[in-house]
A and B are shown apart, each in its own frame.
Chain A
């Protein structure tokens, strides 16, 4: 009797822990994982510092040009700027990327993809807001279809202001990011998990046709 009750309680808690995935029809829910993201504690001491050093020295950018600023990413790969020497290289899939460079303005349509891609990256993951648009909407500040503040939707580690910022600025931004990582200051992943409901509420406010799970594993 008691065991049954316990089991029932566990089941209830488990259900409460899980995501609602209201955007999906019932027959689609089985296709997606409905776990909530969790906070994962860092390692301790030297181990974490070593790990952070490795993370900082091997920054893999997600090659997803979300806006016009993405044009500034390309020169970084060329012989003139050569980001490779800083251990930075592009990766074609969010699964393998650690840095998400939001290339300028993010329209609502793109925002959906940004959220999805961000959630699919493996932590710890870093977001670099590129250009004024990601800070306050920039020249699109009163647009009906563009967000004004990126960090209402996903945690941002560093912004690079300008419209657009030059590749040099970008490199500077990356180097700053590296320092921050080494210093252990970049924990957007855990803050996203901790404030998941808030982020999700904001996201759902602008994205009307939410046809994906609440957290894209």
Chain B
């Protein structure tokens, strides 16, 4: 085993010799340093290998200068030390590579020396077991950092460095006083010896002991930048060279964190609690303040501070929790630390590359997007990155120890962090034409906006307010409309490779951890989406032909579906078919695309597989993992849309919020198993858990109040994605409800006997109504369809919450049929949009003559969607009302009927304004949609007709799927289905309809056989005038103006206002909070001292 002394010895030696080497050649010191760092890394790796071979022989203590501790300084190498050193040294090595490889690199001379001393110092911090030696290494680290900060020789760097110096000096003063007193009370500086003492007894004789330990703690804590006394550190992150910031954040901070961990074994419990509080406060408030931040590096600084905060919190926690839990949670801290090291360094480097290349948009740089996304995702704790697993473990441990509050804090902070990180992402990713917020309707100038319409227009404006910050992350930088022509010359693939290594480390670590976590429950299959995504992205990076990729992907999904569907039955099978087969059919339309669409197929494939994984995951971790994967992938898919940055961001945040809510709910109710149990389970879960889980589901379904992400996301995503999202992905929420259905029969109020499902039912009913009403007033066809989906999913929620046999059959029936209709509608509309190049319905018109097949598709699907017999949509309505009336939910049935009448209105409007009326000049030469769009449509129409003729084909299997949970409620006699209330014979209805249709048609053909003249579009009675232009003759804009006049006042976007309020409040809270960072070094010093005083007073138990 290599002695750690070599690290320190070699390091110091090389550091001092470097100036000499410089004489040999400019590049020599770089190479030597890099080799040294590599040696360090290898040594650490060798330790890890050895230790993992023989865990019981470690940790090993190395003594210096021939004496044992306490008479000499001793260094300890254990698993944790070795792991941390591997991470730190690898990061340092990558940093060194980055510094020496980047363009116009000035990495030489003093900088290299400082860099090396910093690394040595950090290694020392990790290894030493002597308190004073710790101080020395701390100072070595600090002094190297002070000097490194100013290495870019800029004004602001000096300012920041000076503030850093002040803070560091105060911190080390605290530490030094603490150490000296501790020495006085214990007579030793060797940590292990102090820990071995009976500190409580010592406390009795030396009342100042706690005070001394507290000072030591404080000294290190200040170095870890606790909120609010951390303004100096954030200044440093902002002002120094990004590569240096990366070092400070990744390497420097990690060393101090480890030192803090080391001394934490001295903490008495009450001090540990204070540490936990400090860490938690730091985490949540730094993220909150970060929300308002618009300068990228400063934002990263807040993020760094927050990440360190959560680790500090864990270090405190491991002193409080039981020993097993402590080890568990400490392992999550190590993972978080590693995650932080590599992803934060990666982000700082990327920000440097952006600066170097003067890049304001990365939309056309796939590799860059991937790296960027990986780092952001891992920082935000998204799956499959390490932080996700770490947070999962942490939360599990916390839940077991009933620390709900901390879970909430962690998740809240994570949400904030995801918010600002992905705001940065979307800003960089967005297209030049993207306004960056929620897209507003474009009203042409020749149609004046009257005051009666402003209600709705301003509501969209209010929606936009949510994402208002998204547009301004880089506001102070000039936005280039096209990529800077010189940028290509500035590209430096070598540097990018360094960054890529970092991201590979993150991904690999994440996957390995995932395998480790999932192996326990035999769910390794759940990692397939990650593998597929990675492979697919690589394919895309290699520019594999689009269609080959598509075929491969579809074959893969088919195989996967086959494997999965074989093993499923009942409701699971229904959802399996819904998720897998439904999406597979829709993928056919991707064939129309000719060229490469970066990331499209990999992400869709992974999304579909994640959906499938929801069905086969048996544990909470597996379920949550797949759920999060699905969320993340779908929001990334939305972000592909040309103007989707605002909408995608909002979708991501809402989905994450929903997922976290679900997570808390699941954690609150640990006995609950995520297996479909029906409603028989009568154990009483906490009501709060039930609410939180259902919120998770309802966010995904876009239920009223939680729906405001929905229109933008569905509308701004690419057409195929919209179709997939609204017809398939929204059903994931329904699936969650089914899986957790045993929860919803518990009473809403502790004393009452009204179950939660009643509340869900009302929400569903009003979602249906609100969705229909919102859809009624949209000019943008995709918004119409989006709101329509919202309403339809509301019906499913309503039917589900009936908790009866018929209700569930209805819900599943609607889920299946809605998939059909909505996919058809979206596909047909996609074809129309593909040709017309506009989304505003009133700009279309008269397309029936140009796109007859699309027209027929839309006609069939709107007849079906609005529930008009004889098509299969009526089955859904019939089942729904029958079920509602049977259950006694009369008022809900009334609301649902109103909603369905309104749905009829907007659907008519949709077909009329697009396909009927006046054809526009620009569409005169238009053709039918491409064949790729038409094939799935024709298939879908055939299926609809089949289900309409023979409803038992669909209802039968669903009935059987639901039967295990309830007793049968409907019976079949031939083609007639009987409920206790009524009956319906789809077959007979179809025949009668055909009959009554044929008869008048024949009559008309007979009467009009000769002299009916086909005329053109302007051959109309126009009050004895002739029409002027098609635009002024086509009635399509503000179609239901009278409805708005009648009921417009009830359409106030309350939900949007509420969420806008929440966001504004959070934002301004962050804005107010950050006023404490005055920029004055002296204020910062004051804050530090005040912070210390408050902490010490708290420790004393009061003032």
Contacts and interface: CB of A to CB of B under 8 A. Distances in A.
Direct contact between A and B judged by beta carbons closer than 8 A: yes
Given A27-B921, A31-B1016, A217-B1019, A40 B1026 contact: no
Given A30-B924, A212-B1026, A93 B1015 contact: no
Contact of B1019 (A40, A64, A216): A216
Given A30-B924, A120-B1021, A217 B1013 contact: yes
B1013 A33 contact: yes
Contact of B1016 (A33, A93, A114, A212): A33
Contacts of B401: none
B1024 interface: yes
A216 B1011 CA distance: 16
A93 B1030 CA distance: 21
Interface in B1013-1057: 1013-1019, 1021, 1024-1027, 1030
A78 to B, nearest CB: 25
Nearest to A95: B1021
A6 to B, nearest CB: 24
B1010 to A, nearest CB: 8
Residue among B1013, B1015, B1019 with most chain A CB within 10 A: B1019
Contacts of B1030: 31
B924 A113 contact: no
Nearest to B1022: A116
B134 to A, nearest CB: 86
A22 to B, nearest CB: 15
A211 B1016 contact: no
A98 to B, nearest CB: 15
B1013 to A, nearest CB: 6
Nearest to B918: A31
B1021 A32 contact: no
Given A40-B1011, A116-B1026, A94 B1016 contact: no
A130 B814 CA distance: 63
A17 to B, nearest CB: 13
B620 to A, nearest CB: 65
B1024 A64 contact: yes
A30 B1021 contact: no
A57 B1024 CA distance: 27
Contact of A31 (B1011, B1017, B1021): B1017
Interface residue tally on A, bucketed by range: 20 to 34
A94 B1021 contact: yes
Interface string A112-138: 011011001000000000000000000
B686 to A, nearest CB: 67
Residue among B1010, B1018, B1030 with most chain A CB within 10 A: B1018
A117 B1026 contact: no
Contacts of A117: 1021, 1024
A93 B1019 contact: no
B1015 to A, nearest CB: 4
A27 B1030 CA distance: 12
Interface residues of B, number: 17
Interface string A74-115: 000000000000000000011100000000000000000110
A139 B895 CA distance: 66
Residue among A31, A35, A40, A212 with most chain B CB within 10 A: A31
Nearest to B1024: A113
B1019 A32 contact: yes
A117 B1025 CA distance: 9
B903 to A, nearest CB: 31
B1026 A217 contact: no
Nearest to B1011: A40
A128 B2 CA distance: 118
A32 B73 CA distance: 100
A148 B1011 CA distance: 34
A179 B1025 CA distance: 33
A30 B1016 contact: yes
B1016 A32 contact: yes
Contacts of B1013: 33, 35, 217
A116 B1026 CA distance: 9
A33 B1024 contact: no
A211 B1021 CA distance: 15
A114 B1025 CA distance: 10
Contacts of B1010: 40
Contact of A217 (B921, B1011, B1015, B1024): B1015
Interface in B608-641: none
A32 B1030 CA distance: 12
Residue among B921, B924, B1011, B1016 with most chain A CB within 10 A: B1016
B1015 A33 contact: yes
Nearest to A35: B1013
A151 B986 CA distance: 60
Contacts of A93: 1021
Contacts of A116: 1024-1026
Contacts of A114: 1024
Interface in A3-41: 27, 30-33, 35, 38, 40
B1018 A31 contact: yes
B501 to A, nearest CB: 62
B1026 A211 contact: yes
Nearest to A93: B1021
Interface in B289-319: none
Contact of B1025 (A31, A32, A95, A113): A113
B324 to A, nearest CB: 82
A207 B1019 CA distance: 20
A77 B998 CA distance: 40
Interface in B985-1021: 1010-1011, 1013-1019, 1021
A114 B1024 CA distance: 8
B302 to A, nearest CB: 61
Contacts of B1015: 33, 217
Contacts of A216: 1019, 1026
Nearest to B1010: A40
A60 B240 CA distance: 89
Contacts of A212: 1026
Nearest to B1018: A31
Nearest to A212: B1026
A95 B1013 CA distance: 13
Nearest to B1019: A217
Contacts of A38: 1011
A216 B1014 CA distance: 13
A59 B489 CA distance: 84
A167 to B, nearest CB: 25
A166 B924 CA distance: 52
Nearest to A27: B921
B353 to A, nearest CB: 54
Contacts of A64: 1024
A186 to B, nearest CB: 18
Contacts of A95: 1021
Nearest to A38: B1011
Given A27-B921, A40-B1011, A217-B1013, A32 B1024 contact: no
A217 B921 CA distance: 21
Contacts of B1026: 116, 211-212, 216
Contacts of A27: 921
Nearest to A115: B1024
A143 to B, nearest CB: 21
Given A116-B1026, A211-B1026, A217-B1013, A33 B1019 contact: yes
Interface of A: 27, 30-33, 35, 38, 40, 64, 93-95, 113-114, 116-117, 120, 211-212, 216-217
Given A117-B1024, A217-B1015, A217-B1019, 18 more contacts: A27-B921, A30-B1016, A31-B1027, A31-B1030, A32-B1016, A32-B1019, A33-B1013, A33-B1014, A33-B1019, A38-B1011, A40-B1010, A94-B1024, A95-B1021, A113-B1025, A116-B1024, A117-B1021, A120-B1021, A211-B1026
Q: Ordered nearest first, which 4 A-B pairs have the shortest CB separation?
A: A113-B1024, A31-B1018, A33-B1015, A217-B1019
12 contacts: A27-B921, A31-B1018, A32-B1018, A33-B1013, A33-B1014, A35-B1013, A40-B1011, A93-B1021, A114-B1024, A116-B1024, A117-B1024, A216-B1026
